[in-house]
Amino acid sequence: MSGKDRLIIFDTTMRDGEQSPGAAMSREEKVRIAKALERMRVDVIEAGFPIASPGDFEAVQAVAEAVKDSTVCGLARALDKDIDRAGEALKKAASGRIHTFIATSPIHMQHKLRMTPEQVLEQAVHAVKRARQYTDDVEFSAEDAVRSEVDFMCRVFEATIKAGARTINVPDTVGYSLPGLWGERMRKLIESVPNADKVVWSTHCHNDLGMAVANSLSAVLAGARQVECTINGLGERAGNASLEEVVMAVKVRRDIFTCDTNIDTTQIVPTSRLVSQITGYPVQPNKAVVGANAFAHESGIHQDGVLKSRETYEIMRAQDVGWSTNKLTLGKLSGRNAFRARLQEIGIQLGGEEALNAAFARFKELADKKSEIFDEDLQALVSETYQEENERIKLSYLRVCSETGTQPEAQLTLTVDGEECRAQAAGGGPVDAAFKAIESVVNSGAQLQLYSVNNITSGTDSQGEVTVRLEKGGRIVNGQGADTDIVIASAKAYINGLNKILEPLQRQHPQQVSL
């Protein structure tokens, strides 16, 4: 124990992070991420926005049942129907929190809510009281706090504290603030709001000007004791404050911060990879802490210095953030029990024997092609097993011919709603030919916005993990596929994206009003 204050880490990867284009997660994916966050000892996991859709409700419910050591939180606008839905979804949580919010800035109140400040204040108080009927752990957020008048916010916070909020969150919803200003705002609020000492003050910063982490840390220096953040900085528009950067800044600069987190930092890199793999958002190589280059020393001078004494150029150790957690896990001779045991160790609970058998069959196929199977391979394999369960379009066969001087051609067989369809097409390259052959069957009309390939582990026999982003009628989805053959991985990713884009959309965005 450090004897310092506790800095609460509130992860919103599965709520605000999920608001990134195409990053929607299924119930199973959320449970896997939640288990990884729990292993990392995240204090609060915001699992979603239960009123958004039946799928979101079920996902929050499943996370609430699966997680025992972290608090599970559901988001609710300051509306009875939202709060009731969140309360219902969290019923089985060992520790559940309702996070309710309403905008307090003149621009949002006038144009979005069409409400007077007095109506907003009244609704905020009513929402907190209603949420308290479900749990003692209620958080209130003043959306767009950055552009709200401080005196009005003080009144709203005073009243919501009196109504029973335990955490008061101050969001920079549009990523407009600067570190000095944000810290000053937090300090002013804590000094001015009556009973400020009865609640935890929280900060929630967006990254539109690249300031989310700096602003969050400035708020912590001014007295905030909860930071809302996401793995890999995922989130609406330019994202949220990145969890790994906030946590490591507080840890590395313990000489400056008077508080400490409870995070097991060795879980950072594995969790970052899991989130990237599930959402289809690759991590940029030069990203702090979790980027592939974060601990790579390219220049000769740096290498020399690091070999003589690591501290010459490194302020933290790669193994402290989980770079060496990449364990060789299983091989060709590993049996079903070893496979099941390793899945359990990395927090994957497959739903029943059938799912385990399907995943094990895939594992054996992969082990024939690749001698060493790592945890990242297992994560990709399990994702595919879940994906395929509900997909209308499946890839049964693919053959691609590619040679110098000729146009590549693809032949394939798809199963669409149980019916076999064959197709062939030529293209500019093997991937283009495969995508054209798929489109000749599906005729989706979707536009390919992004295509990227990354290796899951190192070595030329590594699986390639392909992400495609598809757009149709303004809707964006990400599709993923993994295989030791990157053309097959590409076809799988494209089909995964098509399956998502063909599903009817029923989700509601939390910051859209429908009263």
| Encoded tokens for 339 | 């496979």
State the nearest-atom distance from the C-beta of 227 to Zn ion, in Å: 13
For the beta carbon of residue 437, count every other beta carbon within 10 angstroms: 25
State the nearest-atom distance from the C-beta of 101 to ligand KIV, in Å: 5
State the nearest-atom distance from the C-beta of 20 to ligand KIV, in Å: 12
Instruction: Return the DSSP state at 282.
Output: P
Binding mask 276-305 for ligand KIV (x = CB under 6 A): ------------------------------
Of 16 and 144, nearer to Zn ion (C-beta) is 16
Q: What residues form DSSP beta bridges with 497?
A: none
Q: Does 16 bind Zn ion (CB under 5 A)?
A: yes
State the nearest-atom distance from the C-beta of 88 to ligand KIV, in Å: 20
Judge contact between 272 and 231, C-beta under 8 A: yes
Judge contact between 12 and 45, C-beta under 8 A: no
Q: Does 141 bind ligand KIV (CB under 6 A)?
A: yes
Q: What residues form DSSP beta bridges with 128?
A: none
State the nearest-atom distance from the C-beta of 171 to Zn ion, in Å: 6
How many of the chain's residues bind ligand KIV (CB under 6 A)? 9
160 contacts which partner out of ligand KIV, Zn ion, none, CB within 5 to 8 A by kind?
Answer: none
Q: What residues form DSSP beta bridges with 472?
A: 475
Count Cα neighbours of 217 within 13 Å in the Cβ-side half-sphere: 19
**Amino acid occupying residue 107:** I
Of 16 and 384, nearer to ligand KIV (C-beta) is 16
Q: Does 173 bind ligand KIV (CB under 6 A)?
A: yes
Judge contact between 492 and 481, C-beta under 8 A: yes
State the nearest-atom distance from the C-beta of 139 to ligand KIV, in Å: 9
Of 22 and 510, nearer to ligand KIV (C-beta) is 510
Of 13-21, 258-266, 327-335, 359-367: span binding Zn ion (CB under 5 A)? 13-21
**Amino acid occupying residue 10:** F
Compute the distance between CA of residue 203 and CA of residue 510 in angstroms, rounded to an integer.
Answer: 18
141 contacts which partner out of Zn ion, ligand KIV, none, CB within 5 to 8 A by kind?
Answer: ligand KIV
Of 143 and 245, nearer to ligand KIV (C-beta) is 143
Judge contact between 45 and 38, C-beta under 8 A: yes
Q: Does 386 bind ligand KIV (CB under 6 A)?
A: no
Q: Does 17 bind ligand KIV (CB under 6 A)?
A: no
Of 49 and 360, nearer to Zn ion (C-beta) is 49
Of 10-18, 131-139, 146-154, 500-508: span binding Zn ion (CB under 5 A)? 10-18
| Encoded tokens for 159 | 């009243």
State the nearest-atom distance from the C-beta of 141 to ligand KIV, in Å: 4
Of 101 and 134, nearer to ligand KIV (C-beta) is 101
101 contacts which partner out of ligand KIV, Zn ion, none, CB within 5 to 8 A by kind?
Answer: ligand KIV
Q: What residues form DSSP beta bridges with 71?
A: 44
Binding mask 248-287 for Zn ion (x = CB under 5 A): ----------------------------------------
Give the one residue of 10, 11, 16, 248 binding ligand KIV; rule: CB under 6 A: 16
Binding mask 175-214 for ligand KIV (x = CB under 6 A): -----------------------------x-x--------
391 contacts which partner out of Zn ion, ligand KIV, none, CB within 5 to 8 A by kind?
Answer: none
Compute the distance between CA of residue 487 and CA of residue 492 in angstroms, rounded to an integer.
Answer: 9
Phi, psi dihedral angles at 292 (to 5 degrees): -60, -30
State the nearest-atom distance from the C-beta of 122 to ligand KIV, in Å: 19
Compute the distance between CA of residue 101 and CA of residue 499 in angstroms, rounded to an integer.
Answer: 34
Contacts of 95 (CB under 8 A, 6+ apart): 70, 71, 72, 137
Count Cα neighbours of 499 within 13 Å in the Cβ-side half-sphere: 25
Compute the distance between CA of residue 481 and CA of residue 494 in angstroms, rounded to an integer.
Answer: 8
Compute the distance between CA of residue 200 and CA of residue 165 in angstroms, rounded to an integer.
Answer: 9
Binding mask 74-103 for ligand KIV (x = CB under 6 A): ---------------------------x--
Q: Is 29 exposed, middle or buried (0-12, 13-18, 19+ CB in 10 A)?
A: buried
Of 317 and 509, nearer to ligand KIV (C-beta) is 509
- CA distances, 484 to each of 1, 72, 280, 457, 464 (Å): 46, 37, 18, 11, 6
Reference 494, options 460, 454, 457, 444; nearest CA is 444
Q: Which residues bind Zn ion (CB under 5 A)?
A: 16
Q: Which residues bind ligand KIV (CB under 6 A)?
A: 16, 101, 141, 143, 171, 173, 204, 206, 510
